[in-house]
Every structure is written in C-alpha cells, then in structure tokens.
C-alpha cells in the first residue's frame, strides 16, 4: 500500500494520523486476551512505544494526560518508523519526496494538530539506513 502510493502514484505527502480517546491505545496499557493474535500484534507496537517513553509517560499528572501523550508519541514513532523503510529511503534519495506528517485529531474540537514533519533532508539514524544503489 505504502509502496504503491509512493512508487507508482508518487504521492507528495504521507500522513499518519492518531486520535485522542483511542481505544487501541487504552487497550495496549492493559493485559490482553491471548487468543486475539492479530490485535495483540498491533498492540505490541504501542506497548513498545510505552516502554521506550516510559519515563516521560509515567511522569504525566493524570491517567488521561498519559493516554493523550501516548497517542501523540505513538503517532510520532510511526512516522519515524516510515523513515526506516526502504520505500521511503529510496523515494527520498530519488525524488526528494514525499514529506511525512504526524498529526493528531481531537474529536472534542474537530481540529487536527501537527506533531512532526519529516522530509528528505531528515538525517536518518545510520542504524536504520539501507545500502541504496
Ligand atoms: Zn483509535
């Protein structure tokens, strides 16, 4: 899907959009039913973000603040994950596009807020760089 959009359609922007009040984010902070294998795989990625950012998240004043911040951090992390794909690295090298955006939607005021924007000038950590021709 990403590959088709980037390589064939040549989209200029890719948007990862999280939303406050996300049930998935909330679920990821509790124990899962072991039989929900596919769902659990998705939740595992959110748990990983929690583990990476535990210090910041555990410093949140309220449980609600913590959930909201995890929504934001998970969105930001997913945008960074895109930079670790050969699809984006190839496109950035060859086309200097697309721009990657992380947004969060707030259903309470209907607004989208920008969390992170990365373009082809973004210095990808060498540990995630592909050896591109
Ligand atoms: Zn959700």
For residue 38, tell me if it sits in a domain: yes
Q: How far is the CA of 26 from the centre of ligand 1 (A)?
A: 9
- Domain of 90 in residue numbering reads as 2-126
Model confidence, pTM: 0.93
For residue 42, tell me if it sits in a domain: yes
pLDDT 10s digits, 96-106: 999 999 999 99
For residue 121, tell me if it sits in a domain: yes
For residue 53, tell me if it sits in a domain: yes
CA torsion sign for 22, 28, 30, 32 is: positive
**Number of separate domains in the chain:** 1
pLDDT 10s digits, 41-87: 999 999 999 999 999 999 999 999 999 999 999 999 999 999 999 99
Binned at pLDDT 50, 70 and 90, residue 25 comes out as very high
What is the enclosing helix (H) or strand (E) of 46? helix 37-52
For residue 32, tell me if it sits in a domain: yes
For residue 131, tell me if it sits in a domain: no
Give the domain CATH number at 75. 3.40.1050.10
Q: Tell me the percentage of the chain whose pLDDT exceeds 70.
A: 100
CA distance 70 to 28: 10
pLDDT value at residue 1: 86
Q: Tell me how long the chain is.
A: 133
Q: How far is the CA of 25 from the centre of ligand 1 (A)?
A: 7
Q: Are 105 and 18 within 8 A, CB to CB? A: yes
Average pLDDT over residues 25-46: 92
- Phi, psi angle pair for 104, to nearest 5°: -130, 135
SS3 74: helix
For residue 103, tell me if it sits in a domain: yes
Q: How far is the CA of 95 from the centre of ligand 1 (A)?
A: 32
Q: How far is the CA of 80 from the centre of ligand 1 (A)?
A: 19
Q: How far is the CA of 122 from the centre of ligand 1 (A)?
A: 28
Question: Distance from CA of residue 91 to its chain's centroid?
Answer: 19
Q: How far is the CA of 91 from the centre of ligand 1 (A)?
A: 29
For residue 133, tell me if it sits in a domain: no
């Amino acid at each position: 899907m990403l590959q088709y959009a980037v390589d064939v359609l040549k989209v200029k922007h890719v948007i990862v959009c999280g939303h406050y009040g996300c049930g998935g984010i909330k679920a990821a902070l509790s124990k899962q039913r072991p039989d929900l294998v596919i769902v659990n795989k998705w939740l595992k990625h959110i748990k990983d973000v929690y583990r990476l950012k535990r210090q910041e998240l555990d410093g949140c004043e309220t449980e609600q603040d913590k959930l909201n911040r995890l929504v934001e951090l998970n969105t930001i992390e997913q945008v960074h994950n895109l930079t670790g794909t050969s699809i984006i690295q190839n496109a950035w090298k060859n086309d200097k596009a697309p721009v990657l955006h992380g947004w969060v939607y707030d259903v309470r005021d209907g607004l989208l807020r920008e969390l992170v924007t990365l373009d082809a000038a973004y210095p990808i950590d060498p540990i995630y760089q592909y050896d591109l021709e």
